[in-house]
């Protein structure tokens, strides 16, 4: 009777935006008479930080400080269409929409500034809230002054709009799954290693350490990226060893109905983390960003199953890896069926042994 | 870049730490009623009797909504994408899962609303149930859904999602080993700290203001407008600040029914699910049944994959056809496999309908594929990093849909993981890049896809 | 009945078996205490009752007649954040924010009880509080830094420990 340590890895990919695309996000931006900027976007913030990320994108694109941006995603009267905050699309798809809206309004600012400064707009750019002549930073006019001139002198409302819509990828052959074009925007990549401890007397599996690598394209706000990675990791740990809506699946009985009777990770289940964030810019994300919110809970379960095998020599392929499953597997010491070149695991779980209406073979 | 890439504070951080961030439940309006639902106590039954008269007559009760009050009873979340509707907003003649809503009551307070729910007379004639997706296809299996036991409306009325690529028989003939396994991740709960909630206020101009915890303002706008058969300008969804979602709040779970109750009572109505409802009635992440058979060589190349997926959709389709399609598009994981044979079914059972959750469709694949790859490496006596690096996508490799990858970074993240874990890769693997395959990394079985496939 | 809510004595009209949570939210319009489960499980309704963190959803108002009740509204406002509140902002310890007010109440009680900056002790102190977003790492970091009385630049947030960011090496 002892505890055993094990180590396992996984490597995953995940698409950005809705599968097959066709999911629009739109935004619009207006400039107040003092140069402060209001962004209207239909992207819900579910904790992922959409308000922060999209504000940062707008500030960067126009060339103004972050705290000049007001972000409004509060309702469908003022905000244009956003398909929503899911499919890892809030930074990438909706971020592209606010980026386009910001670039649009920036052009309007430069045009009014050009009139005020008697300089061609192409020769101007915006740095820290000031419109400057390129190569001659002392020749400048504050964005606030430009906005005032637009409002009181030129009678112009400076607004920008942006819309992002990746073309719907139709399935052109339902027999083979061929599609009319790429069925997603950028793909994100990650790899994960888990170190576990398995108690062969109690069947308890503890995840001690998660080492994780994510290629996020560009971390628009690294603290938010960390938050997705760390929060996702604990959710992935829950998937791997704790959580189950139907503890006696397929039976629907004895479901957890409370925080106390549904097992999910608490602060005490948190493993040690080691994280590397890699920035390989995507071709078409805002500033090269990709979406990683969802994939953040995909890598851990596969790394944990391999680590459990490394620790005690069993493959548990039903999640979560409960003490009961571990102890039963240790007792059974099941070997795959080996016949010729076939190595067949888990035959007792297969439709072939459970069902009569559907069968499955090489 | 100055702003992008900077660790700037959360836009809403100070609001969060001072308790001033306003969630739906924090909105205060005068004269607000509370809603409670009558839900099915059984998994599968015919409704033989439904009488709300006693409930409606109770003091403090202002509206009782049943299926008769819903202008368009069935509207699917994906109707706009051509996926037909199968789920009534309120049960009419059949209940297909425990907890399915049958009526909604709006009353002065929650206790009165619950008492009125208890006063509704309803009788059921119970029907046989099905819970194991593996038995859905059996002769004599109970028929539990109007479309049969699995979703029959993929393009061209296919009853499954199929992927075929290359020559699977040839791959199995040429394999040194054929390794099969079965993978079954459980259903789990989203557990947002804020339960499903909405507050609907009828405005003097006839519009409805719907305070909603939706993850998708416009998705919910479209769904509510469709059920109510009103143009979008009659509805204003107010939201954007959500107390956790994880996919479950793409469902538009409460908004439409609360709107109907508010319209009938002509008073503001709030419907806030209890934690028990959130656990037992809100949709879950789907349980999946996946069988993988891989044709592999002794040195760790994957020549072909045959896969069967049964996706437990619960009692209705919701987002499941979408999730299964996404699953099929990613069933090779981060690797190139030139010969594929995938069949996937959306299977109906008498459990709570499942829905989107973080990683929808792919979380299952990542777990199954990675566990299977670890098994393959173990059976072949190979390094698990090297098996992955060998098969990992490179530029010009093609996806299950025959789309060329242009900038995969599988190789780099695996190398970085090895480094972070203190490992050391053999020189051939330490020096690998995402560049198009050549030399030892371009074995015979992968030459074909470079020449003939892709867009 | 009355309570001393954030230093001010207020009379209570609700019935004696109404929960303190319901009284705070529905009678007194103090909405930082959240309805997370009403089962005593998630911790999102926690307030300080006579200085000790308590689940307000399981507390009948009659049981705390005359007591001092502190919610996050009584700690600091946006211009005068307490060290714990500043540290939560600085460490990105709030994501969706729904568990945050109660988490700050618990952390405040931990500091006032002379809790240490030891991460395991902080995890133990917070284990009755559910957060589904953050994975707890940043919350624990925030509490540890608040214990250490770190001063914060609220315009820049603090990275997680053991994390590196590097440019991709591939073209």
Distance of alpha carbon B257 from alpha carbon B236, whole angstroms? 15
**Same domain, residue pair C92 and C134:** yes
**Same domain, residue pair B232 and B332:** no
**Same domain, residue pair A200 and A57:** no
Is the Cβ–Cβ distance between A59 and A68 less than 8 Å?
yes
**Same domain, residue pair C70 and C87:** no
Enclosing domain of residue C99: 83-147
Query: Does the pLDDT at position B225 exceed 80?
Result: yes
Q: What confidence score (pLDDT) does residue A362 get?
A: 78
With respect to residue B131, please indicate whether it lies within any of the assigned structural domains: no
Q: What confidence score (pLDDT) does residue A204 get?
A: 98
**Same domain, residue pair A299 and A335:** yes
**Same domain, residue pair C54 and C93:** no
> Average pLDDT in the C92-106 region?
98
With respect to residue B135, please indicate whether it lies within any of the assigned structural domains: no
Cis peptide before A250 (omega within 30 of 0): yes
**Same domain, residue pair A331 and A196:** yes
**Same domain, residue pair A66 and A47:** yes
Rounded to a whole number, what is the distance in angstroms from the first to the last CA of chain B? 35
Q: What confidence score (pLDDT) does residue A201 get?
A: 97
Considering only the beta carbons, identify the residue of B7, B21, B190 that sits closest to C156.
Answer: B7
**Same domain, residue pair B292 and B255:** no
Is the Cβ–Cβ distance between B365 and B437 less than 8 Å?
no
**Same domain, residue pair A151 and A263:** no
Spatial CA neighbour of C145 closest among C81, C93, C100, C103: C93
With respect to residue B17, please indicate whether it lies within any of the assigned structural domains: no
Residue C170: which pLDDT band, with cuts at 50, 70 and 90? low
Considering only the beta carbons, identify the residue of A230, A278, A280 that sits closest to C138.
Answer: A230
Shortest Cα–Cα distance, C97 to chain A (Å): 7
Query: Does the pLDDT at position C150 exceed 80?
Result: no
- B264: tokens are 């009938």
With respect to residue B225, please indicate whether it lies within any of the assigned structural domains: yes
**Same domain, residue pair C10 and C48:** yes
The residue of chain B with its CA nearest to that of C38 is B275
- A256: tokens are 């957890």
A60 is catalytic: no
Q: Which residues of A52-87 are buried (b: 16+ CB within 10 A; e: fewer)?
A: bbbbbbbbbbbbbebebbebebbbbeebbbbbbbbb
SS3 assignment, position B359: coil
Crossing angle of helices C119-126/C100-112, nearest 10°?
120
Inspect the interface and report whether the beta carbons of A230 and C96 lie closer than 8 Å. Answer: no
Considering only the beta carbons, identify the residue of B43, B240, B407 that sits closest to A44.
Answer: B240
**Same domain, residue pair B212 and B107:** yes
Write the pLDDT tens digit of every residue in B11-26.
Answer: 999 999 999 999 999 9
With respect to residue C167, please indicate whether it lies within any of the assigned structural domains: no
Distance of alpha carbon A344 from alpha carbon B370, whole angstroms? 17
Q: How far is CA C129 from the centre of its chain?
A: 9
With respect to residue B297, please indicate whether it lies within any of the assigned structural domains: yes
Inspect the interface and report whether the beta carbons of B370 and A299 lie closer than 8 Å. Answer: yes
**Same domain, residue pair B179 and B244:** no
Domain final residue, candidates B280, B311, B333:
B280
Considering only the beta carbons, identify the residue of B12, B215, B276 that sits closest to A86.
Answer: B215
Inspect the interface and report whether the beta carbons of C137 and A277 lie closer than 8 Å. Answer: no
Q: Which of A111, A130, A195, A294 is catalytic?
A: A294
Picking from C37, C137, C141 by the largest number of A CB atoms within 10 A of its own CB, the best residue to mutate is C137
Please, which residues 50-109 of chain A have a Cβ atom closer than 8 Å to chain B?
51-52, 55-57, 59-60, 65-66, 71, 73-77, 79, 81-87
With respect to residue A287, please indicate whether it lies within any of the assigned structural domains: yes
With respect to residue C154, please indicate whether it lies within any of the assigned structural domains: no
Neighbours of C13 (CB within 10 A): 9
- Per the document, the length of chain B is 455
With respect to residue B97, please indicate whether it lies within any of the assigned structural domains: yes
H helices present in B242-287, as ranges: 255-265, 275-280
Q: Which residues of A183-193 are buried (b: 16+ CB within 10 A; e: fewer)?
A: bbbbbbbbbbb
Taking contacts as CB-CB distances below 8 angstroms, the residues of chain C near B26 are 31
Residue recorded with tokens 């938050």: A227
Spatial CA neighbour of B211 closest among B15, B27, B37, B21: B27
Domain final residue, candidates B248, B280, B312:
B280
C163 contacts chain B (CB < 8 A):
no
Shortest Cα–Cα distance, C118 to chain B (Å): 22
Spatial CA neighbour of B241 closest among C57, A52, A281: A52
The residue of chain B with its CA nearest to that of C31 is B26
**Which residues lie across from B308 on neighbouring strands?**
B291, B343
Distance of alpha carbon A38 from alpha carbon A43, whole angstroms? 15
- C138: tokens are 């940043």
Q: What confidence score (pLDDT) does residue B451 get?
A: 64
- CA distances, A167 to each of A99, A184, B154, B282 (Å): 19, 9, 20, 32
Spatial CA neighbour of A287 closest among B238, B278, B5: B5
Crossing angle of helices C137-147/C119-126, nearest 10°?
110
> Residue B358 has what DSSP assignment?
S
Distance of alpha carbon B368 from alpha carbon A250, whole angstroms? 19
Picking from A52, A250, A278, A318 by the largest number of B CB atoms within 10 A of its own CB, the best residue to mutate is A250
Mind giving me the DSSP string for B166-194?
A: S-HHHHHHH-SEEEEEEEBPPP-----SS
C104 contacts chain B (CB < 8 A):
yes
Q: Residue A238 belongs to a domain with what CATH number? A: 3.30.365.10
- CA distances, B236 to each of A75, B218, B250 (Å): 7, 10, 17
Inspect the interface and report whether the beta carbons of C101 and B19 lie closer than 8 Å. Answer: yes
**Same domain, residue pair A329 and A221:** yes
How many interchain CB pairs under 8 A, B with C?
Answer: 122
What percent of chain A is predicted at pLDDT more than 90? Answer: 96
Find the largest Cα–Cα distance for chain B.
82
Inspect the interface and report whether the beta carbons of C41 and B275 lie closer than 8 Å. Answer: yes
Taking contacts as CB-CB distances below 8 angstroms, the residues of chain A near B238 are 74-75
Distance of alpha carbon A273 from alpha carbon A208, whole angstroms? 9
**Same domain, residue pair A154 and A264:** no
**Same domain, residue pair C100 and C68:** no
Inspect the interface and report whether the beta carbons of C164 and A273 lie closer than 8 Å. Answer: no
The residue of chain B with its CA nearest to that of A283 is B407
**Same domain, residue pair A263 and A305:** yes
With respect to residue B4, please indicate whether it lies within any of the assigned structural domains: no
Phi, psi of B388, deg, nearest 5: -70, -45
> Average pLDDT in the C82-108 region?
97
- Going through A148-204 in order, the beta strands assigned E by DSSP cover 159-164, 171-173, 178-179, 187-199
With respect to residue A86, please indicate whether it lies within any of the assigned structural domains: yes
**Same domain, residue pair B314 and B266:** no
Q: What confidence score (pLDDT) does residue B454 get?
A: 42
Write the pLDDT tens digit of every residue in B321-345.
Answer: 999 999 999 999 999 999 999 999 9
- A195: tokens are 């170190």
With respect to residue A355, please indicate whether it lies within any of the assigned structural domains: no
- 3-state helix vs strand vs coil in chain C, percent to 5: 35, 15, 50
Which residues 6+ apart lie within 8 Å of B447 measured at CB?
none
Query: Does the pLDDT at position A175 exceed 60?
Result: yes
- Per the document, the length of chain C is 171
B28 contacts chain C (CB < 8 A):
yes
With respect to residue A136, please indicate whether it lies within any of the assigned structural domains: yes
Inspect the interface and report whether the beta carbons of A298 and B367 lie closer than 8 Å. Answer: yes
Inspect the interface and report whether the beta carbons of C72 and B18 lie closer than 8 Å. Answer: yes
> Average pLDDT in the B268-284 region?
98
Considering only the beta carbons, identify the residue of C36, C89, C98 that sits closest to B9.
Answer: C89
Enclosing domain of residue A73: 25-164
The residue of chain C with its CA nearest to that of B28 is C29
Query: Does the pLDDT at position A265 exceed 50?
Result: yes
Specify the DSSP element, H or E, that contains C103.
Answer: helix C100-112
As to burial, measured by CB atoms within 10 angstroms (0-12 exposed, 13-18 middle, 19+ buried), residue C40 is middle
Domain final residue, candidates C46, C74, C102:
C74
**Same domain, residue pair B324 and B399:** yes
C46 contacts chain B (CB < 8 A):
no
B405 contacts chain A (CB < 8 A):
yes
Neighbours of B254 (CB within 10 A): 31
With respect to residue C56, please indicate whether it lies within any of the assigned structural domains: yes
**Same domain, residue pair B46 and B101:** yes
Inspect the interface and report whether the beta carbons of A231 and C41 lie closer than 8 Å. Answer: no
Write the pLDDT tens digit of every residue in C11-53.
Answer: 999 999 999 999 999 999 999 999 999 999 999 999 999 999 9
SS3 assignment, position A196: strand
Q: What confidence score (pLDDT) does residue B80 get?
A: 78
Write the pLDDT tens digit of every residue in B100-143.
Answer: 999 999 999 999 999 999 999 999 999 999 999 999 999 999 99
Write the pLDDT tens digit of every residue in B44-97.
Answer: 999 999 999 999 999 999 999 999 999 999 998 888 777 789 999 999 999 999
- CA distances, A269 to each of A207, A234, B17 (Å): 8, 8, 24
Q: What is the CA radius of gyration of chain B?
A: 26
- Counted domains in chain B: 2
Domain final residue, candidates C24, C48, C74:
C74
> Average pLDDT in the B430-454 region?
85
C126 contacts chain A (CB < 8 A):
yes
Is the Cβ–Cβ distance between B103 and B65 less than 8 Å?
yes
- Counted domains in chain C: 2
**Same domain, residue pair A7 and A66:** no
Q: Residue B402 belongs to a domain with what CATH number? A: 3.30.365.10
Is the Cβ–Cβ distance between A245 and C118 less than 8 Å?
no
Domain final residue, candidates B233, B250, B280:
B280
Mean pLDDT of chain A: 97
The residue of chain A with its CA nearest to that of B176 is A341
Shortest Cα–Cα distance, A309 to chain B (Å): 9
With respect to residue B288, please indicate whether it lies within any of the assigned structural domains: yes
> Residue A205 has what DSSP assignment?
E
With respect to residue C168, please indicate whether it lies within any of the assigned structural domains: no
Residue B450: which pLDDT band, with cuts at 50, 70 and 90? low
Q: What confidence score (pLDDT) does residue A338 get?
A: 97
**Same domain, residue pair C65 and C91:** no
Enclosing domain of residue B329: 155-188+284-452
Query: Does the pLDDT at position C154 exceed 80?
Result: no
**Same domain, residue pair C88 and C138:** yes
Write the pLDDT tens digit of every residue in A68-96.
Answer: 999 999 999 999 999 999 999 999 999 99
With respect to residue C62, please indicate whether it lies within any of the assigned structural domains: yes
**Same domain, residue pair B256 and B269:** yes
**Same domain, residue pair A316 and A215:** yes
Shortest Cα–Cα distance, C141 to chain B (Å): 15
With respect to residue A71, please indicate whether it lies within any of the assigned structural domains: yes
Residue C167: which pLDDT band, with cuts at 50, 70 and 90? confident
**Same domain, residue pair A205 and A285:** yes
List the subunits that have 3+ CB pairs under 8 angstroms with A. Answer: B, C
- Counted domains in chain A: 2
Considering only the beta carbons, identify the residue of C92, C136, C163 that sits closest to A277.
Answer: C163
Taking contacts as CB-CB distances below 8 angstroms, the residues of chain C near B10 are 89, 92, 94, 157
Distance of alpha carbon B131 from alpha carbon B150, whole angstroms? 13
Q: Residue C120 belongs to a domain with what CATH number? A: 1.10.150.120
Inspect the interface and report whether the beta carbons of C159 and A226 lie closer than 8 Å. Answer: yes
Q: What confidence score (pLDDT) does residue A255 get?
A: 96
Distance of alpha carbon B332 from alpha carbon A289, whole angstroms? 24
Picking from C97, C104, C162, C168 by the largest number of B CB atoms within 10 A of its own CB, the best residue to mutate is C97
**Same domain, residue pair C142 and C90:** yes
């Amino acid at each position: 009777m002892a505890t055993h340590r094990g180590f396992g890895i996984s490597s995953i990919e995940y698409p950005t935006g809705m599968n097959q695309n066709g999911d629009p996000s739109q935004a619009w931006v207006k400039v107040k008479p003092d140069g402060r900027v209001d962004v209207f976007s239909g992207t819900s913030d579910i904790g992922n930080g959409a308000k922060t990320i999209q504000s940062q994108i707008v500030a960067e694109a126009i060339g103004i400080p972050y705290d000049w941006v007001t972000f409004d995603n509060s309702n469908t009267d003022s905000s244009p269409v956003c398909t929503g905050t899911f499919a890892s699309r809030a930074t990438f798809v909706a971020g592209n929409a606010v980026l386009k809206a910001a670039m649009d309004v920036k052009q309007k600012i430069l045009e009014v500034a050009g009139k005020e400064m008697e300089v061609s707009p192409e020769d101007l750019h915006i740095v820290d809230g000031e419109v400057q002549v390129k190569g001659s930073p002392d020749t400048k006019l504050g964005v606030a002054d430009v906005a005032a001139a637009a409002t009181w002198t030129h009678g112009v409302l400076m607004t920008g709009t942006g819309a992002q819509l990746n073309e719907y990828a139709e399935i052109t052959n339902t027999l083979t799954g061929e599609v009319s074009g790429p069925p997603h925007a950028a793909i994100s990549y990650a790899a994960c290693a888990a170190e576990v401890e398995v108690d062969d007397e109690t069947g308890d599996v503890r995840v001690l350490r998660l080492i994780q690598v994510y290629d996020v394209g560009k971390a628009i706000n690294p603290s938010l990226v960390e938050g997705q990675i760390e929060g996702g990791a604990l959710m992935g740990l829950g998937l791997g060893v704790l959580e189950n809506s139907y503890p006696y699946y397929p039976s629907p009985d004895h479901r957890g109905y409370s925080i106390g009777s549904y097992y999910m990770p608490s602060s005490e289940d948190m493993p040690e983390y080691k994280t590397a964030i890699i920035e390989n810019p995507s071709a078409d994300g805002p500033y090269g960003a990709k979406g990683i919110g969802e994939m953040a809970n995909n890598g851990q379960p596969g790394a944990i199953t391999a680590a459990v095998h490394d620790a005690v020599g069993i493959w548990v392929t039903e999640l979560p890896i409960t003490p009961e499953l571990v102890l039963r597997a240790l007792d059974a010491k099941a070997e795959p069926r080996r016949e010729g070149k076939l190595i067949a695991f888990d035959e007792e779980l297969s439709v072939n042994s459970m069902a009569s209406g559907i069968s499955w073979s090489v | 870049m100055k702003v992008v890439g900077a660790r700037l504070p959360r836009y809403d951080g100070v609001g969060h730490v001072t308790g001033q961030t306003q969630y739906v439940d924090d909105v205060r309006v005068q004269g607000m009623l509370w809603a409670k639902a009558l839900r099915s106590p059984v998994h599968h039954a015919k409704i033989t009797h439904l009488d709300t008269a006693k409930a409606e007559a109770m003091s403090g009760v202002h509206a009782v909504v049943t299926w008769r009050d819903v202008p368009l009873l069935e509207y699917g979340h994906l109707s706009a994408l051509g996926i037909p509707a199968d789920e009534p907003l309120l049960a009419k003649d059949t209940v297909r899962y425990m907890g399915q809503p049958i009526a909604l009551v709006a009353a002065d307070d929650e206790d009165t609303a619950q008492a009125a729910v208890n006063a509704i007379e309803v009788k059921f004639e119970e029907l046989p149930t099905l819970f194991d997706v593996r038995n859905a296809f059996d002769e004599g299996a109970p028929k539990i859904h109007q479309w049969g036991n699995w979703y029959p409306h993929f393009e061209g009325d296919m009853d499954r999602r199929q992927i075929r690529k290359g020559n699977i028989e040839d791959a199995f003939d040429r394999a040194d080993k054929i390794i099969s396994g079965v993978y079954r991740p459980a259903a789990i709960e989203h557990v947002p700290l804020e339960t499903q909630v909405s507050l609907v206020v009828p405005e003097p101009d006839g519009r409805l203001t719907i305070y909603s915890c939706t993850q998708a303002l416009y998705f919910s706008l479209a769904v509510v407008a469709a059920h109510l058969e009103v143009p979008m300008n009659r509805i204003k969804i107010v939201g954007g600040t959500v107390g956790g979602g994880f996919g479950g709040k793409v469902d538009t779970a409460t908004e439409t029914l609360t709107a109907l109750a508010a319209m009938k009572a002509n008073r503001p109505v709030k419907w806030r699910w209890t934690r028990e409802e959130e656990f037992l009635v809100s949709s879950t992440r789907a349980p999946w049944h996946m069988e993988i058979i891989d044709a592999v060589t002794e040195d760790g190349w994957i020549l072909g994959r045959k896969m069967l997926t049964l996706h437990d959709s619960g009692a209705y389709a919701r987002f499941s056809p979408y999730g299964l399609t996404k699953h099929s598009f990613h069933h090779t994981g981060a690797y190139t496999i030139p010969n594929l044979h995938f069949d996937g079914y959306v299977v109906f059972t008498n459990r709570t309908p499942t829905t989107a959750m973080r990683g929808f469709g792919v979380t299952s694949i990542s777990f199954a594929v990675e566990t299977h790859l670890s098994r393959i490496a173990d059976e072949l006596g190979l390094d698990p990093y090297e098996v992955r690096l060998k098969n990992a996508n490179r530029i010009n490799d093609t996806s299950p849909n025959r789309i060329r990858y242009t900038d995969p970074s599988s190789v780099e993240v695996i190398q970085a993981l090895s480094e972070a874990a203190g490992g050391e890769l053999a020189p051939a693997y330490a020096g690998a890049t995402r560049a198009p395959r050549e030399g030892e990394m371009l074995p015979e079985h992968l030459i074909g896809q470079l020449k003939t496939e892709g867009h | 009945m009355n309570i001393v809510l954030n230093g001010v004595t207020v009379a209570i009209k609700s019935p004696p078996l109404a929960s303190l949570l319901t009284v705070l939210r529905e009678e007194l319009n103090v909405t930082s205490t959240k309805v997370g489960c009403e089962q005593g499980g998630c911790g999102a309704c926690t307030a300080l009752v006579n200085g000790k963190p308590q689940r307000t959803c399981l507390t009948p108002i009659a049981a705390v007649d005359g007591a001092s009740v502190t919610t996050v509204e009584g700690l600091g406002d946006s211009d005068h954040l307490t060290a714990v509140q500043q540290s939560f902002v600085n460490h990105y310890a709030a994501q969706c924010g729904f568990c945050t007010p109660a988490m700050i109440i618990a952390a405040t009680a931990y500091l006032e009880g002379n809790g240490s900056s030891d991460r395991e002790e902080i995890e133990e102190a917070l284990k009755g509080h559910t957060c589904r977003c953050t994975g707890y790492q940043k919350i624990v970091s925030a509490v540890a830094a608040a214990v250490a009385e770190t001063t914060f630049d609220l315009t820049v947030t603090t990275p997680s420990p053991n994390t590196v960011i590097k440019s991709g090496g591939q073209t």
